[in-house]
Copies of this chain bind each other. A is one copy, B any other.
């Protein structure tokens, strides 16, 4: 086995834009055998320059193909692009091996593109931490644009994309338009809607449905969604994110042929300008860093829990619960007490 590259050398090379060093550094923060902190601490001062673009949507919308087309579009203008795919169905992450991956081979061998997949199977907190780390490393490595692709179903996955500077929500006709369209989580985080597969039947209807909801200021959609439910985020979110004042465009794309992709790229550029001019960019970075801070504190508390507790205590508590000698809340209180002392 070759000797592992010293961490400092890895950091130096990463900051010079070395792709292999970047790849290795991401692996090390993913493994998180204590090196994540050191690497992120060393590169953090060099972050904050890239345009971070979140792309999310339900499985079947073709968002991976759209990501690939967007990469090509940026490359045609000479911009460098980093891609982080945390969607289990993404060709980037190895999910859809049986077809879509072929499309990405067009980028292989292009030094201006770096693609990294991330397994979603690491527990929710772990995924949030690993992806936040990886995005900082991509940023420090100097990419102009960083695309983070996540599946738009699943609270944890949506959150990862939602903390980007610009969020593209991908829809498609024929997937049960109404069902997709009123997904509150996606409606609330979108800066741009891309109705992909726009050459298919029903695309106009999907566009119309989205535009109608946007016209009513999201109020109609929210009312529908409030039905019988409690919704915390909603109204407050737009204030925090500084989404007010940005007219959300609904674009049509046909990713497989590249149709509409230049328009999507242009819309992203307008959004970036708006972010800078309105001050929303600062607000979003603040939210992103706050989110990361929470994630890290939570991870540390959990690690501390693992270290502190005797191995038998947890299984003993579960055993007592099964015999109905205690209940989950009392057992949890016992554990917390042991942690505090």
- Does A184 lie within 8 Å of B121, measured CB to CB? yes
For A178, what are the chain B residues with a Cβ–Cβ distance below 8 Å? 96-99
What 0/1 readout, one digit per residue, does chain A (45-89) give for beta carbons within 8 Å of chain B? 100100000000011100000000000000000000000000011
Q: A229 in the interface, Cβ–Cβ < 8 Å?
A: yes
CB-contact partner of A121 in B176, B232, B297, B302, under 8 A = B232
User: Which residues A157-177 have CB closer than 8 A to chain B?
Assistant: 157-159, 175-176
User: Which residues A105-129 have CB closer than 8 A to chain B?
Assistant: 117, 119-124, 127
- Does B322 lie within 8 Å of A285, measured CB to CB? yes
Taken together as a complex, chains A and B put the C-alpha atoms of A286 and B321 apart, in Å, by 8
Q: A310 in the interface, Cβ–Cβ < 8 Å?
A: no
Taken together as a complex, chains A and B put the C-alpha atoms of A16 and B159 apart, in Å, by 41
CB-contact partner of A318 in B120, B124, B289, under 8 A = B289
Which partner residue on chain B sits nearest A177 by CB separation? Answer: B98
Taken together as a complex, chains A and B put the C-alpha atoms of A328 and B44 apart, in Å, by 8
Q: A269 in the interface, Cβ–Cβ < 8 Å?
A: no
Size bracket of the A interface: 35 or more
Q: A28 in the interface, Cβ–Cβ < 8 Å?
A: no
Min distance, Cβ A135 to any Cβ of chain B, angstroms: 11
Q: A93 in the interface, Cβ–Cβ < 8 Å?
A: yes
For A185, what are the chain B residues with a Cβ–Cβ distance below 8 Å? 88, 120-121
- Does A153 lie within 8 Å of B153, measured CB to CB? yes
For A330, what are the chain B residues with a Cβ–Cβ distance below 8 Å? 41
Stretch of A5-13, A210-218, A247-255, A331-339 at the chain-chain interface: A331-339
Min distance, Cβ A197 to any Cβ of chain B, angstroms: 12
Q: A33 in the interface, Cβ–Cβ < 8 Å?
A: no
- Does B314 lie within 8 Å of A305, measured CB to CB? no
Q: A30 in the interface, Cβ–Cβ < 8 Å?
A: yes
Taken together as a complex, chains A and B put the C-alpha atoms of A341 and B12 apart, in Å, by 36
Stretch of A199-207, A220-228, A270-278 at the chain-chain interface: A220-228
Known: A154-B151, A154-B156, A285-B322. A59 touches B336 (CB 8 A): no
CB-contact partner of A180 in B59, B314, B329, under 8 A = B59
Q: A292 in the interface, Cβ–Cβ < 8 Å?
A: yes
Given A40-B329, A300-B336, output 20 extra A-B contacts at Cβ < 8 Å: A45-B327, A59-B59, A59-B176, A59-B180, A94-B229, A97-B182, A120-B185, A121-B184, A121-B185, A124-B124, A124-B156, A154-B154, A154-B157, A155-B156, A289-B322, A290-B315, A293-B335, A297-B305, A301-B305, A301-B336
Interface residues of A (CB under 8 A from B): 30, 36-37, 40-41, 44-45, 48, 58-60, 88-89, 93-99, 117, 119-124, 127, 132, 136, 151, 153-159, 175-176, 178-180, 182-185, 224-225, 227-233, 282, 285-286, 289-290, 292-293, 296-298, 300-302, 304-305, 314-315, 317-319, 321-322, 324, 327-333, 335-336, 339
